[in-house]
A and B are shown apart, each in its own frame.
Chain A
Amino acid sequence: MIVDDEEDLVWTLLRQVRRERPQLEVEGFSDPLAALEQIRRTPPDVLVTDVRMPKLGGVDLIIAARQTAPSIRVIVMTAFNTEHVKRAVARHGSVTLIEKPFEVSALLDLLTPPADGGGGFRGDVSLPMLPDLVQLYSLARVDGALRIVNGAGNGTLWFKAGDIVHARCGEATGVAAFFEMMRWDGGRFLLEPLGEPPERSIRESVASLLIEGARLQDEESVATAVPEDAPAEDVPLVELECARVAPEHPWSVSEIRAGLPLHLPLAWIVDPSEPRDAALWAAADELLQAARPLGDGAGNGVLELVGSATGLALFWDSGEGRLAVGADLGGREALTRFRGAVAAVGGVAVRAASGDLAVAR
């Protein structure tokens, strides 16, 4: 189906397609609303549409068409092949852009179905390409399901606006499934513009997932990176970070928003009623002071030191003179969440004693 408000263009394209590709059934519309009615009655295999049209824009037409026919292939013709247009159409799954003016032969090539049929992207992937692929889909804010077939099995990652919201790999789901797929050294991939994922099992940012995935790979490939005495995954978290400023001064998100003096030594902003190792905290404070020049010279910045198996992350402030000191030790999941949240807000995060993650902008 070809949709463009320029009747002459629609007529020309129809004539060319019918002449050059007689095996294809093609119809044309200069009214996008009429085209949408037809899509709802009989969805086409391929929708070729303009972006800027009266009554109904091309992006809205794609959205409506995909609601009726999620697997419809879409080719967007536009004279406005800008980043804005690319982003707008990329949000709606597998879409090909063709810039006006174009040779009709170029459109004919795009109309030719891929050898293995169906929509979406197909290709080979070999590590470290999988993280690259994930990052590309994330940056493009893709909606869809990335299916990966490997000798070890099949896996699927569901993206929503570029975020990974669900993963399944064999019996595993969620973060465990994602990390399992990150271990594969090659495979075939296919991005399908699917609807809602069956569930939401992942809430971590793509960046934190990739970092943790790469870290786990390192630990597997370099035996010395994981001491034999490393604690198991289910070791309870040891609370080390500042959860309160002082007993009479309970910590809260609003407290952080209000800002804590940056010059306070670490030991001062740890609740003195909490049992702690004075030597450890003195050393940690010394570490923060030693790391101060690594920021902007005024103490602004983020420092993260990650242990090889257990984890200790120390943060100091981002640019607005607010709290950003924390530590995390033990479970990888909590550490991943902690780091992801810190990355998301630019370094202002603490984890409360309850185990909940608390973040303030």
Chain B
Amino acid sequence: MSGARVVCEDTVRTTDGGLVCSVIELPTGRTLGRYPAASSEDVEKTLAALSGLLCSGLLPRVGDLVRSRVGLPPTTASFFDEVYCAGSRQLFAKILPSGGAAVILATEPTTPVAWGWLRLRSALRALGALRG
């Protein structure tokens, strides 16, 4: 899926402090596209951890529990659609509306949070166009 790689490259290059952008398939965790191909060990570790979290059954389970807590009927739609993590790096992740893939953007901690989300959303729109 070279188109996804192009979108990832554009996202990293246009994000001040952008480090890595990756598109993964859910729930397999298979990489559909990413840029750059490799990065520092700590960034790779956090990306792997977030991929694992997104692919695990944990998020749907907590979503279902929250739904039941507030009396919402169960649904197949993902309850969580955004994940943001800030530590030594910032991670922005959003699950595609289809639920079959997620985009992850890793940035330096200095990247403005709003800017990170805006760039991630641009990537989503570009990926949506790729999928027709």
Contacts and interface: CB of A to CB of B under 8 A. Distances in A.
Interface pairs A-B: 6 shortest CB-CB: A301-B87, A295-B87, A293-B49, A210-B114, A302-B86, A306-B82
Interface of B: 45-46, 49-50, 52-53, 56, 58-59, 61-63, 65-66, 68-70, 72-73, 75, 77-88, 91, 97-98, 112-115, 117-118, 121-122, 124
Interface string A117-149: 000000000001001100100000000000000
A62 to B, nearest CB: 28
Nearest to B91: A294
Nearest to B65: A280
B79 A301 contact: no
Interface residues of A, number: 49
B53 A295 contact: no
B58 A225 contact: no
Given A135-B112, A211-B113, 13 more contacts: A128-B122, A210-B118, A211-B117, A215-B117, A218-B124, A227-B75, A231-B72, A283-B61, A291-B85, A294-B87, A308-B78, A312-B66, A343-B113
Contacts of A312: 62, 66, 79-80
A225 B65 CA distance: 19
Contact of B86 (A135, A301, A305, A330): A301
A303 to B, nearest CB: 5
Contact of A329 (B70, B75, B88): B70
A22 B121 CA distance: 53
A116 interface: no
A238 interface: yes
Nearest to A295: B87
A155 B62 CA distance: 40
Contacts of A227: 72, 75, 77
A5 to B, nearest CB: 39
A215 B120 CA distance: 11
Contacts of B113: 207, 211, 343
